Amino acid sequence: MKRFTAFTRFIVTCSAALFLVAVASVGARADTFTFAGTTTGGNAVNGSAQITGSAGTNQLTITITNNQTNMVSAGQGISGLSFQIVNSQGVVLNISPVTIMTQSGREVKFLGSTTGVDVGGSSAADAMGWGLSNQNPAYLNALGFTGPNGSNPPDELILGVPTGNAANGVVYGNANSSIANSGPHQPFVVQSANFSVTLGIALPEGFEIRNVQMYFGTAGDTLVSQTPEPASMILLGTGLFAIAAGIRRRRKTKR
């Protein structure tokens, strides 16, 4: 009888935890979009973007990452990201006005060599100056905008994985002159950048991020966006185990 009761309690606990996580996750999304292949400009690229938001709020957090190894040219750098939002019926929503609230990434300048020197004197993130060249779809863009540490656009392209570290920065050992000696079009961003944006509307229940495009190089070359990875499902499973574990610990404490 005790075994049956314990088993029943376990099933009830897991069911309750699953229900709570499912309810909590209905309005929250954390989708990752990947872009790997060859651009319209002929460059091999590999980038990703994670976009996170919750229903009832008007804020999105966006992390753009360049996963490309053995970077050669600026044409492999990420220069923009655009997206739209649809409701649960798949209707594209008017999200304007979109505003970039915060943006940051580690910035380096190349002074005629393959070593990028930290703009701020350390590996800490620096304030960036990307802009919005379109509202719907929202288009976060490095081209045509000058960041606080730059002098002329295009600057602040996001480079891929460094080949090594230097005392005062990073090394891109295979970089050609479009990176190492690009004159006034500095600085570059090392591998990833973080953005917080606000929308003109509150995100509805069941919203989805759609029509995501990533742009590369100074010409804004594109790839077709791939299906987002099931980040929400990963969060759901993690939350289930965490809640179930918490309930069991509380019951043991009471005993």
* Number of domains the chain contains: 1
* 2 phi and psi angles, rounded to 5 deg: -65, -40
Amino acid at 18: L
pLDDT digits over 111-160, tens only? 999 999 999 999 999 999 999 999 999 999 999 899 999 888 889 999 99
pLDDT digits over 77-123, tens only? 999 999 999 999 999 999 999 999 999 999 999 999 999 999 999 99
- Cα distances (angstroms) measured from residue 208 to each of 51, 145, 235: 10, 29, 16
Residue 211's CB: how many other CB atoms inside 10 A?
12
Are the C-beta atoms of 214 and 223 separated by less than 8 Å? yes
Q: 80 vs 233, which has greater pLDDT?
A: 80
Nearest to 82 by CA among 186, 213, 173: 213
Does any domain span residue 16?
A: no
| Residue percentage of the chain with pLDDT more than 90 | 69
Q: What is residue 184's predicted lDDT score, i.e. its pLDDT?
A: 79
Q: What is residue 151's predicted lDDT score, i.e. its pLDDT?
A: 83
Q: What is residue 185's predicted lDDT score, i.e. its pLDDT?
A: 85
Domain extent at residue 35: 29-228
Side-chain half-sphere exposure of 174, counting CA atoms within 13 A? 13
Position 19 confidence tier, pLDDT thresholds 50, 70, 90: very low
pLDDT digits over 158-215, tens only? 999 999 999 999 999 999 999 999 887 899 999 999 999 999 999 999 999 999 999 9
Look at residue 28 and give its three-state secondary structure.
strand
Measured distance CA(11)–CA(13) in Å, rounded: 5
Look at residue 239 and give its three-state secondary structure.
helix
Measured distance CA(161)–CA(47) in Å, rounded: 11
- Cα distances (angstroms) measured from residue 194 to each of 61, 112, 189, 230: 7, 28, 11, 21
Does any domain span residue 2?
A: no
Does any domain span residue 67?
A: yes
Does any domain span residue 118?
A: yes
Residue at token pair 């990201």: 81
Does any domain span residue 48?
A: yes
User: Taking the chain, what is the end-to-end CA distance rounded to the nearest angstrom?
Assistant: 19
Beta strands in 87-152 (DSSP E): 99-110, 115-118, 126-127, 131-135, 138-141
Does any domain span residue 58?
A: yes
Whether the predicted model's global pTM rises above the 0.95 cut: no
CA 148 to chain centre: 21
Q: What is residue 226's predicted lDDT score, i.e. its pLDDT?
A: 54
Nearest to 109 by CA among 66, 71, 155, 65: 155
- The conformation of residue 76, written as its DSSP 8-state character, comes to G
Q: What is residue 71's predicted lDDT score, i.e. its pLDDT?
A: 96
Tokens read off for 38: 């060859």
pLDDT higher than threshold 60 for residue 32: yes
For residues 74-90, one letter each, b for 16 or more C-beta atoms within 10 angstroms of the residue's C-beta and e for the rest, the string is bbbbbbbbbbbbbeeee
Does any domain span residue 20?
A: no
Does any domain span residue 6?
A: no
Beta-strand relationship, 188-198 and 158-159: parallel
Are the C-beta atoms of 103 and 128 separated by less than 8 Å? yes
